[in-house]
Amino acid sequence: MIRLDSRAADFAAQFETLLAQARETTEAVAEPVAAIIADVRTRGDAALIALTERFDRQRLTAATIRVGAAEIDAARARVPAADLAALDLAATRIETFHRAQMPADIALDDPAGLALGMRWNALDAVGIYVPGGKAAYPSSVLMNAVPARVAGVGRIAMCVPTPDGVMNDLVLAAAHRAGVDEVFRIGGAQAVAALAYGTASIAPVDRIVGPGNAYVAEAKRQVFGRVGIDGIAGPSEVVILADAANDPARVAMDLLAQAEHDEAAQSILIADDADFAARVIASVEAAIPRLARAAIAGASWATHGAVIVVADWDQAAALVDRLAPEHLQIMTADPQALFARIRHAGSAFLGRDAPEALGDYVAGPNHVLPTGRTARFASGLSVFDFLKRTTWLSASPAGIAAIGPAAVRLARAEGLGAHAESVAMRIAGPGSA
């Protein structure tokens, strides 16, 4: 675990080292992923069947690649009623928040006499990847599928790996609640390839969303252009700004809530009190052994955890903008004021009683967020990932007479004679050809 103090002479260099820390890279898997994609493109379902047996130790046939409606119904029947109720609450809140994001079309008449506008349309088909290795994530099903359904996507296909043939009942229940149309028991780079290029069993989609391991991330990178993607997801991360008025045990558990995701996850505490920071560190180390995922959380904290003591919160805000974290918790006396000074974060959680884990499940905003400092230029998943814009215009003779001459001059300046004549003929009026 890294400890930094902003007042140390070498702080700038140490902070740069923290920023440069590589937690996961896709470079080592680029070649095998390319081979998997090529195999799926060439052999289709046969490749999916062979790769699933190889990586997930499950034998499929063309008839069992897709999860049937009866299997989904049986899975839902096995889920306790309280879990279904929690799932429904989460889905309802996610839907409400994302429905509020839906944009309006634009139509306006300008002074020159043209009508201009922009129309929003949903994508025809999207593919959702849901992790299924170290843990099952029904929450990811909701966070990916509900916004797509709200946006009006025509077809939602979901791929989820099922190692050793084990499918999580709550994942299937979540898919049903979110309105997923098709579920396939395929994972890894082969699932991304199938969604991008299609096979006999899986029709291709227009965009692929959802997090996965290094193979999934690299596969999304390689198929981008054939299809759209939401981004390249890396290990989870949180930065927590906390003052000494907080309970160290709560802050410690918030840090560990990220650490338990993955050995490559990163949890960073920024505090303005060295004694409080030390108490949080002690609380983290005391709590790790009693976690169900102690080995994972412990490895994450030991290798990638960091505690930074700052002189003031202005300095903390500047450091957050450089870290551009996926998740940001602000646990100070005036979190809104501090948040106003921060520009780069995937999602922010304001106050002492707004843990990031609440946002993972039931708050409403999306938990699919930019990682690896990409919050500098990227945003979390929203309805906009499932919509596209089409602009339009119409012009009257008066309108083209008003602005057409400028278009003619610019076209001729660029050496594009047909462009110029196309407009000039209309300025001159009928019969000018």
> Which single residue is written with the structure tokens 């994450």?
300
Report residue 105: phi and psi, to 5°.
-65, 160
How far apart are the C-alpha atoms of 23 and 266, rounded to whole Å? 8
Q: Which of 292, 231, 318 is nearest to 19 (CA)?
A: 318
How far apart are the C-alpha atoms of 63 and 73, rounded to whole Å? 18
Sheet holding 114-122, edge to edge: 106-109, 114-122, 387-395
**83 to 86, 129, 203: CA distances (angstroms):** 5, 22, 32
Cβ(173)–Cβ(189) under 8 Å?
no
How far apart are the C-alpha atoms of 92 and 361, rounded to whole Å? 11
Report residue 135: phi and psi, to 5°.
-155, 160
> Catalytic site residue 327?
yes
Cβ(292)–Cβ(309) under 8 Å?
no
Instruction: Output the CA angle 133-386-213, nearest 5 degrees.
Output: 20
> Catalytic site residue 27?
no
Report residue 415: phi and psi, to 5°.
75, 20
Q: Which of 326, 344, 356, 367 is an active site residue? A: 326
Q: Tokens in use for 309?
A: 């003591």
Rg (CA), the chain: 26
For the chain, give percent helix, strand, coil, nearest 5: 50, 15, 35
Q: Which of 98, 261, 304, 327 is an active site residue? A: 327
Kindly list the catalytic residues. 326-327
